[in-house]
Structure 1
């Protein structure tokens, strides 16, 4: 029974991580197309799903503990799926557990890669916005880079900027 609960928890985790992959892909598209409303929606959905994943992970941990009790072992810290497969005598169950674990690992790796892309896209967007804002406020004004004699500068020289950075 504990093995069935463990597999069920792993299958649920796999489905949830695949849903996270879908959300991460949609976030990538939202970042590229600068769709803030879609990005906000995806972040909200993602945070709700992460809460569900935490609950499923707690179920998985309970199933592992129950599985270990069935095998006559106590709590083993840092037990891995490979350790669990060694305890299983049924070849079909061994294959099912290792297959689920491998698919979950692959989903997590794809999710990490996609999240790294999204982080870079977000950083580039922030840098672009910062640069654009700097252009509008006149930080990169040509007059700042050319030396002029102080006597040549008029007191009433008009500095045309879109935004006054001193305000």
Structure 2
């Protein structure tokens, strides 16, 4: 496995994460507008991006493992690009991998920040919905009757046809 193949996969991962970041920014607008239909479609688009990223991540993991095994380095469960950078012999390969890795990490950090903001906006929206529902829903202490007395305040005793003396 070559460094170029790993760099290519990392570049693809970078593009997919950039695209996912753009979706997250659009999602912020959708959340603030309160457009549920667009939000539903946005979630479907995000799921497709995440599935593609997962496939690329598996490919990257295999490439890194193969590269390290070809160099005679025992691989662990979570081999990383940092391991490849350490194992690379040429400085240009190290610099190229470091640059692509750093760009990808920066995009991932930006994506995390945007997703945190979206999560906070959704939470605030849910709080607003709950507050609105609470103000519209009558409380039991505000009602004129208790849970067991449903007929109102009629003080005249009602007799049933079945009331009889034995």
Q: Fold match, TM over 0.5?
A: yes
Partner of 1:128: 128
What is the rounded CA distance, in whole Å, between the counterparts of 2:8 and 2:37 in structure 1?
35
What is the rounded CA distance, in whole Å, between the counterparts of 1:120 and 1:133 in structure 2?
20
Runs of at least 5 residues in structure 2 that lack an aligned partner in the other structure: 143-151, 155-166
Aligned-residue CA RMSD (Å):
1.9
Aligned length: 145
Given the alignment of the two structures, is residue 113 of structure 1 paired with residue 95 of structure 2, yes or no?
A: no
TM-score by length of 1: 0.79
Specify the structure having the higher radius of gyration (Cα).
2
Tell me how far 1:29 sits from its aligned partner.
Answer: 0.5
Match runs of 1:9-88 below 5 Å: 9-88=9-88
SS state at 2:96 partner:
helix
- Deviations 1:122-162 (CA, angstroms, capped at 9, x unpaired): 011011011111111134x9x84xxxxxxxxx838xxxxxx
Match runs of 1:83-98 below 5 Å: 83-98=83-98
Tell me how far 1:74 sits from its aligned partner.
Answer: 3.1
What is the rounded CA distance, in whole Å, between the counterparts of 1:55 and 1:81 in structure 2?
17
Provide runs of 4+ in structure 1 moved above 4 Å: none
Runs of at least 5 residues in structure 1 that lack an aligned partner in the other structure: 145-153, 157-167
Q: Is contact 1:2–1:64 with CA below 8 Å preserved after alignment? A: no
In structure 2, which of residues 107, 131, 153 is the aligned counterpart of residue 155 of structure 1? 153
What is the rounded CA distance, in whole Å, between the counterparts of 1:36 and 1:77 in structure 2?
40
Tell me how far 1:46 sits from its aligned partner.
Answer: 0.2
- Deviations 1:105-130 (CA, angstroms, capped at 9, x unpaired): 11111111111111110011011011
- Deviations 1:84-120 (CA, angstroms, capped at 9, x unpaired): 2121122211111001111111111111111111111
